[in-house]
């Protein structure tokens, strides 16, 4: 007896190639190593069955993929309504959210339903459903359970920690945590963790093994090397810095939220003021002072040298009072942007200095909080939340597809075609065409 698996649908497109994800590799190896039978994925095959198929090992002969053809209803296209069979094809979702079906569909006629909400409102209706909201709590509880099981391992990494053993342990725990969750595939949760591990977390863990949690207090400076073309002398220019393990944005969030709020508000003011300037210039009509001042010979608006041109025009005695008031308003806006930009630069510099100094002041508890809770857990839970949101997307996409498919009956479509045909024919006749 052998195990046969159909993994033909478990991959992602990577350019012109198909690539196995971490979840796909794990699922394949687990099925074969543990000799598991999974619905529509793997099953035990007797030699006699292979003999009956003349030793043809074409997988569909042995494993039902579970996919069904998306048949369309002629009755639905002729007389309207969404076939109940199509609505029932979403039964795995209605089992989890029984009230949601009643919010979305109602009986239209025998064997057919109608959509109760506008197509554009389907997504919001799902998010607003109480059972769907409660489902979010279930998914979150599974993640929180995973955290309680792995937290101690992540807080006690040292030189004896084996990163490969660590990820195996916490990934297996992730599978266990999401084993019983409907709609969210445990292998997808596994993929969220493994993707983050490969992209970021693995490097972090290796640094902790090598240098300990004190490395969280370290920063690194980045340089750009330039070369003088005449002398050939090379120089290094500092272009920025970052936390070695924890990004400085997390320190800003934790310690300097008020300073960042002031910067954000000033950025908003500068952007709004600059938009006002751009609108005044771009919408300047030909007979206005702004257009005359900024237009080149080709009639285009030139914004370069705006400050100097404003200064010169305001000194021009031939400019009347009304035009000077317009120019003075524009000048005030320009000054506001200039002063705001300078203040913004000073605020950013001051904040950058504070953050840089804060790294060395971090306590052990703050180090762990920044790395584990604000960096690792937050990144992983965001991926888990994407899986929860994907449930909404799946329902929405299918419901919208069905609504579009049966929205207009064939008689209505024929009537619209006839009306459009008549309009085209009328236009052609007025243009002198005859046939």
DSSP labels, 317-341: TTS-HHHHHHHHHHHHHHHHHHHHH
pLDDT, one tens digit per residue, over 238-291 is 889 999 999 999 999 999 999 999 999 999 999 999 999 888 888 888 778 887
Q: What is the DSSP letter of 13?
A: E
Question: Which of 10, 26, 61 is the last residue in one of the domains?
Answer: 61
Residue 328 belongs to a domain: yes
* pLDDT band per the 50, 70, 90 thresholds, residue 177: very high
Closest to 87 in 3D by CA, of 67, 111, 122: 111
* pLDDT band per the 50, 70, 90 thresholds, residue 297: low
Q: Are residues 337 and 397 in the same domain?
A: no
Residue 203 belongs to a domain: yes
pLDDT, one tens digit per residue, over 68-118 is 778 899 999 999 999 999 999 999 999 999 999 999 999 999 999 999 999
Answer for the pair 61, 53: CB distance below 8 angstroms, yes or no: yes
Answer for the pair 363, 251: CB distance below 8 angstroms, yes or no: no
| pLDDT over 80 at 67, yes or no | no
pLDDT, one tens digit per residue, over 203-242 is 999 999 999 999 999 999 998 888 777 777 888 888 899 9
Question: Which of 336, 359, 382 is the last residue in one of the domains?
Answer: 359
Residue 66 belongs to a domain: no
Q: Which residues, in sequence order, are CB contacts of 5 under 8 Å at separation 6+?
A: 28, 31, 32, 41, 42, 63
Q: Which of 33-42, 178-187, 273-282, 302-311 tops mean pLDDT? A: 178-187
pLDDT at 325: 85
Q: Are residues 279 and 347 in the same domain?
A: yes
Give the separation between CA 47 and CA 201, rounded to whole angstroms: 45
Q: Are residues 282 and 349 in the same domain?
A: yes
Mean pLDDT, rounded, for 115-128: 95
Q: Are residues 109 and 205 in the same domain?
A: yes
pLDDT at 124: 96
Q: Are residues 202 and 93 in the same domain?
A: yes
Q: Are residues 86 and 202 in the same domain?
A: yes
Give the separation between CA 246 and CA 366, rounded to whole angstroms: 11
Closest to 145 in 3D by CA, of 370, 389, 392, 381: 381
Q: Are residues 296 and 332 in the same domain?
A: yes
Alpha helices in 197-320 (DSSP H): 202-211, 248-255, 257-282, 289-294, 306-315
Mean pLDDT of the chain: 89
pLDDT, one tens digit per residue, over 320-369 is 788 878 888 888 898 899 999 999 999 999 999 999 999 999 999 999 99
Q: Are residues 386 and 354 in the same domain?
A: no
Q: Are residues 88 and 187 in the same domain?
A: yes
Q: Are residues 98 and 198 in the same domain?
A: yes
pLDDT, one tens digit per residue, over 408-433 is 998 888 888 888 888 988 888 888 88
Residue 365 belongs to a domain: no
Mean pLDDT, rounded, for 134-149: 96
* pLDDT band per the 50, 70, 90 thresholds, residue 1: low
Per-residue tokens: 370: 């920044």
Q: Look at the chain and report how many structural domains it folds into.
A: 4
Strand extents, DSSP E, 26-116: 42-45, 82-83, 105-109, 112-115
| pLDDT over 90 at 197, yes or no | yes
CA-to-CA dists, residue 333 to 69, 273, 328, angstroms: 63, 6, 9
Instruction: Tell me which residue range forms the domain holding 228.
Output: 217-246
Residue 237 belongs to a domain: yes
- Biggest distance spanned by C-alpha atoms of the chain: 105
Q: Are residues 229 and 180 in the same domain?
A: no
Residue 366 belongs to a domain: no
Q: What is residue 14's three-state secondary structure?
A: strand
Give the separation between CA 63 and CA 66, rounded to whole angstroms: 9
- DSSP of 103-129: HHEEEEETTEEEESS-GGGHHHHHHH-
Q: Are residues 338 and 421 in the same domain?
A: no
| Confidence (pTM) | 0.81
CA-to-CA dists, residue 64 to 24, 38, 68, 111, angstroms: 19, 11, 10, 28
Residue 74 belongs to a domain: no
Residue 353 belongs to a domain: yes
Question: Which of 359, 388, 409 is the last residue in one of the domains?
Answer: 359
């Amino acid at each position: 007896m052998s195990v046969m698996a159909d993994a033909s649908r478990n991959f992602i497109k990577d350019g012109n190639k198909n690539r196995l994800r971490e979840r796909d590799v794990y699922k394949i190896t687990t099925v074969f190593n543990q000799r598991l039978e999974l619905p529509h994925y793997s099953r035990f095959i007797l030699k006699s069955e292979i003999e009956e198929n003349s030793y043809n090992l074409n997988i569909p002969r042995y494993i039902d993929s579970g996919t069904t053809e998306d048949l369309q209803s002629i009755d639905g296209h002729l007389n309207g309504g969404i076939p109940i069979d199509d609505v029932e094809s979403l039964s795995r979702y209605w089992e989890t959210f029984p009230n949601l079906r009643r919010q979305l569909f109602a009986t239209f006629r025998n064997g057919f339903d109608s959509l109760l909400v506008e197509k554009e409102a389907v997504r919001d209706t799902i998010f607003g459903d109480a059972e769907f909201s409660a489902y979010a709590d279930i998914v979150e509880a599974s993640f929180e359970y995973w955290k309680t099981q792995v937290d101690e391992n992540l807080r006690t990494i040292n030189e004896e920690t084996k990163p490969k053993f660590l990820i195996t342990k916490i990934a297996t725990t992730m599978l266990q945590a999401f084993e019983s969750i409907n709609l969210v595939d445990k292998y997808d949760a596994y993929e969220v963790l493994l993707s983050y591990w490969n992209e970021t977390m693995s490097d972090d863990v290796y640094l902790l093994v090598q240098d300990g949690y004190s490395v969280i207090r370290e920063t690194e400076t980045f340089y750009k090397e330039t070369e003088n073309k005449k002398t050939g002398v090379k120089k290094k220019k500092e272009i920025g810095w970052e936390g070695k393990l924890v990004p400085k944005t997390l320190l800003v969030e934790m310690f300097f939220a008020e300073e960042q709020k002031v910067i954000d508000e000033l950025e908003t003011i500068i952007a709004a003021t600059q938009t006002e300037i751009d609108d005044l210039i771009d919408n300047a009509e030909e007979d206005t002072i702004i257009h005359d001042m900024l237009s080149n010979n080709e009639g285009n608006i030139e914004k370069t040298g705006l400050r100097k041109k404003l200064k010169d025009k305001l000194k021009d005695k031939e400019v009347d009072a009304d035009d000077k008031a317009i120019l003075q308003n524009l000048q005030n806006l320009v000054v506001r942007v200039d002063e705001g930009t300078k203040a913004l630069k000073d605020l950013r510099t001051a904040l950058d200095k504070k953050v840089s100094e804060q790294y060395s002041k971090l306590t052990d508890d703050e180090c762990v909080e920044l790395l584990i809770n604000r960096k690792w857990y937050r990144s992983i839970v965001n991926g888990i939340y994407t899986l929860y949101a994907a449930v909404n997307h799946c329902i929405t996409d299918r419901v919208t597809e069905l609504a579009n498919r049966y929205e207009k009956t064939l008689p209505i479509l024929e009537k619209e075609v006839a009306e459009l045909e008549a309009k085209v024919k009328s236009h052609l006749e007025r243009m002198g065409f005859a046939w």
